[in-house]
C-alpha cells in the first residue's frame, strides 16, 4: 500500500525543519552576505535545503521499509546524500571546488555502476547505447545537472518552485506509467520543496544553500535514470520538464566559454538574473517561469511520454522558444 496520505505530514515537517534551521543559522551567523555578484541585498540565513534532504531521506526510508524499491535502486537513489553532506560543509566553511567536484563524480559513477545495463536512448534515428551512454553521456549529464541546479539557485523561490513543479509533474506521469514507488519519491521531494518554499518565497527568509541545490540536481537525475530503467517515463519527458533550468544554465555556460570567461567564478549573467533586475522582482520571474512550466512544458512532456519514439522532437519543440527567451534576456552577458 502506498501511503500517499503522509504527504501533508512531510510538507509540515519540511516547514518546521526549515524554520528550525533558520533559527540555528541566525544564531550561528551562517549568513549569505550580499556582494556585487549576488541578487540579494540583506544578510540571509543559509542551509534551508537540509529540510528537503531530510524529507527525501524519510520518503526513501519508508519506501525501503515498505519494500517499494529494490535494494540496489535504493542505494542508487541514496548516492546523492554525500553530495548533500559536502554541500552542508561548503555552506559552513567554503570547501574547494575541486573537492566538491570529485565527490560529485564519485557519487555519479557509483550510481551508474549500481544501475546495471542502461537501456538505449533514441535520438531520432540515432541510438545511443552501451559504454558511450553508460560511462560518458550519462555521467556527464548527471554531473552537469548537479552543478546547473546550483547555478540556477540565485533568486528567491526559483529553485524551490522549479523542484516542486518538476516533482509533481513527474509524479503524475509516473502514476500513468504505473510506477508508484518512484511517484512516491517524487511526491516526497515535492513536499520537501513546497515546505521549504514557505520560507524561501520572495522576500526569502532563508536560502537553500549548496546542501540543497547540488543534492536536488543529482537526485532528480537519479530518479530520471531509474524511471528509464523501469521504462515508466520517457527520458525526453524529464529533459522537457527540466528545460527551464537546462536551457538557461547551458546557454549561459556556452556563451561564457566562448567569451573565455572564468566559468568557476560567481556571476549574475543567467537570463533569470537579468530578468529579476529588469523587472525588479524575484517573485515575478518565478511566477513567469512556473507559468511556462505548467502551460507549455508539462503538456509537451506528457506528449513525449505518450510517444517516446518521437521524444527528441518534442524536446526540440519545447526548447526552441526557451532559447529565444534566454537570448533576449542576454544570458551569458554582463549587465549593461
0.85 surpassed by pTM: yes
CA atoms within 13 A on the CB side of 168: 17
**What is the model's pLDDT at position 306?**
96
pLDDT of residue 39 exceeding 80: no
CB neighbour class for 124 (10 Å; exposed up to 12, middle 13-18, buried from 19): exposed
* Contact predicate 212/52, CB 8 Å: yes
pLDDT of residue 89 exceeding 60: yes
Confidence grade of residue 333 (pLDDT, cut at 50, 70, 90): confident
Separation CA 87–CA 212 (nearest Å): 7
pLDDT of residue 1 exceeding 70: no
Query: With the CA atoms of 316, 161, 155 and 57 taken in that order, what torsion angle do they form, in degrees rounded to the nearest 10?
Result: -110
Among the residue ranges 5-14, 167-176, 216-225, 228-237, the one predicted with the least confidence is 5-14
* Contact predicate 329/274, CB 8 Å: yes
* Contact predicate 213/91, CB 8 Å: no
Separation CA 281–CA 203 (nearest Å): 9
Segment 148-152 mean pLDDT: 93
Segment 193-207 mean pLDDT: 95
**Closest residue by Cα to residue 190 from 241, 250, 243:** 241
**What is the model's pLDDT at position 2?**
56
Percentages helix, strand, coil for the chain, rounded to the nearest 5? 70, 5, 25
Segment 292-309 mean pLDDT: 97
pLDDT-above-90 percentage for the chain: 81
**What is the model's pLDDT at position 259?**
87
pLDDT of residue 335 exceeding 70: no
CB neighbour class for 333 (10 Å; exposed up to 12, middle 13-18, buried from 19): middle
> Which residue has better confidence, 93 or 266?
93
Which parts of 66-157 fold into alpha helices (H)?
A: 71-77, 81-93, 97-115, 130-132, 138-151
Amino acid at each position: 500500500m502506498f501511503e500517499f496520505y503522509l504527504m501533508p505530514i512531510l510538507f509540515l515537517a519540511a516547514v518546521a525543519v526549515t524554520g528550525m534551521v533558520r533559527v540555528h543559522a541566525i544564531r550561528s551567523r551562517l549568513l549569505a552576505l550580499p556582494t556585487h555578484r549576488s541578487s540579494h541585498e540583506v544578510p540571509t540565513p543559509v542551509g534551508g535545503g537540509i529540510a528537503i534532504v531530510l524529507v527525501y531521506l524519510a520518503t526513501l526510508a519508508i519506501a525501503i521499509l515498505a519494500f517499494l524499491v529494490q535494494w540496489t535502486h535504493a542505494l542508487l537513489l541514496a548516492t546523492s546524500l554525500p553530495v548533500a553532506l559536502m554541500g552542508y560543509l561548503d555552506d559552513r566553511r567554503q570547501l574547494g571546488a575541486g573537492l566538491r567536484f570529485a565527490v560529485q563524480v564519485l557519487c555519479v559513477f557509483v550510481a551508474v555502476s549500481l544501475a546495471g545495463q542502461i537501456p538505449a536512448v533514441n535520438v531520432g534515428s540515432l541510438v545511443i547505447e552501451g559504454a558511450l551512454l553508460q560511462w560518458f553521456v550519462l555521467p556527464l549529464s548527471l554531473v552537469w545537472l548537479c552543478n546547473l541546479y546550483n547555478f540556477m539557485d540565485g533568486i528567491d523561490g526559483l529553485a524551490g518552485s522549479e523542484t516542486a513543479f518538476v516533482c509533481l509533474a513527474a509524479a503524475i506521469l509516473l502514476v500513468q506509467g504505473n510506477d508508484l514507488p518512484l511517484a512516491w519519491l517524487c511526491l516526497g521531494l515535492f513536499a520537501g520543496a513546497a515546505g521549504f518554499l514557505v520560507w524561501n518565497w520572495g522576500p526569502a527568509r532563508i536560502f537553500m544553500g549548496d546542501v540543497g541545490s547540488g543534492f536536488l540536481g543529482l537526485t532528480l537525475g537519479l530518479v530520471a535514470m531509474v524511471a528509464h530503467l523501469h521504462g515508466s517515463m520517457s527520458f525526453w519527458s524529464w529533459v522537457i520538464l527540466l528545460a527551464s533550468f537546462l536551457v538557461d544554465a547551458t546557454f549561459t555556460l556556452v556563451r561564457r566559454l566562448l567569451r573565455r570567461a572564468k566559468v568557476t567564478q560567481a556571476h549574475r549573467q543567467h537570463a533569470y538574473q537579468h530578468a529579476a533586475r529588469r523587472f525588479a522582482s524575484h517573485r515575478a520571474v518565478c511566477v513567469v517561469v512556473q507559468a511556462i512550466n505548467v502551460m507549455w512544458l508539462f503538456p509537451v512532456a506528457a506528449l513525449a511520454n505518450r510517444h517516446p519514439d518521437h521524444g527528441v522532437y518534442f524536446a526540440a519543440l519545447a526548447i526552441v522558444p526557451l532559447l529565444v527567451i534566454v537570448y533576449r534576456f542576454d544570458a551569458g552577458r554582463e549587465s549593461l
